[in-house]
Amino acid sequence: MKREIITTGDGSKTIHMPDLNEQYHSKHGALQEALHVFIEMGLEHFLKVTNSQADLSSLKGKRYFHLEPLQILEYGFGTGLNAMLTAQQEYHIPMVYTAVEAFPINEEEVLEMDYGQFLKDQPLYEALHQSGWEENQEITSHLTLCKQQKTFEKIENKDQFDLIYFDAFGPRTQPELWTEAIFNAAYKALKNGGVLTTYCAAGQVRRNMQIAGFMVERLPGPPGKREMLRATKK
């Protein structure tokens, strides 16, 4: 299947598959989408809720992250953009970042995406992509990465994660990634109070999340999308 690198609306790049009319990130702005959906509405939201709206610069709240690292699971490592932005978060919270990807991008695509230059941290970008699979590797002083090459159906964790970045290809092209069974497994993988966030706002996706047990919110979407979804395990 043909794959090509395109520049999105905010100047950042993504991988486009013309045969499917699908891309890894929004053509309206890959960086803006990732920052809005996964960092602002996901990571920062979780930290605020966990710490009772505490000042995030100090994170003096209920959760002591130096004793219990933040556990993040990403459905779809892809280009590594979400992981890179998470590693660059300014709070320096200890985190364990697990990323599941069935079909990793190739070395040529890694080089051509050039997020290291775009986000002004080439060593971090290289470390994320050069790290081994199926092993924990310290990427920065506060982020440990574990990349797992497998399909979403093989995720069987229980009560492990605080936050899920759900960044699969859309239900129009891969509906099997957005089923009730997939969200049942995601629900089980989260701790109580854990959060799942995704760019998708499709009605059937929202209903599948609710059937799995999530409390689901419709939120303003990133540029080019009216809405997105955030789901919480209660």
Looking up residue 150, the CATH number of its domain turns out to be 3.40.50.150
Query: Tell me, what DSSP letter sits at residue 144?
Result: E
What is the count of structural domains for the chain?
1
Strand partners, 219: 228
Full strand arrangement of the beta sheet holding 190-198: 136-138, 143-148, 95-100, 70-75, 161-166, 190-198, 227-232, 215-220
Q: Is residue 21 part of a domain?
A: no
Query: Would you mind telling me the total number of residues written for the chain in this entry?
Result: 234
Range of the domain at 43: 30-232
Q: Is residue 14 part of a domain?
A: no
Q: Is residue 13 part of a domain?
A: no
| pLDDT > 80? residue 53 | no
Q: Is residue 94 part of a domain?
A: yes
| pLDDT > 90? residue 164 | yes
Q: For the segment 80-90, what is each residue's pLDDT rounded down to a tens digit? A: 999 999 999 88
Task: Tell me the three state secondary structure of residue 140.
Answer: coil
Per-residue pLDDT band for 69 (boundaries 50, 70, 90) equals: very high
Per-residue pLDDT band for 63 (boundaries 50, 70, 90) equals: low
Per-residue pLDDT band for 60 (boundaries 50, 70, 90) equals: very low
Q: Is residue 143 part of a domain?
A: yes
Tokens representing residue 30 in the block: 């890959």
Q: Is residue 8 part of a domain?
A: no
pLDDT for 91 equals 80
DSSP string, 23-64: ESS-TT-HHHHHIIIIIIIIIIHHHHHHTTT--TTTT-SS--
How far is residue 226's CA from residue 151's CA, in Å, rounded to a whole number?
29
Tokens representing residue 220 in the block: 């303003």
Residue range 94-111: mean pLDDT, rounded? 96
Q: Is residue 2 part of a domain?
A: no
Q: Is residue 5 part of a domain?
A: no
CB atoms < 10 A from the CB of 69, how many?
Answer: 16
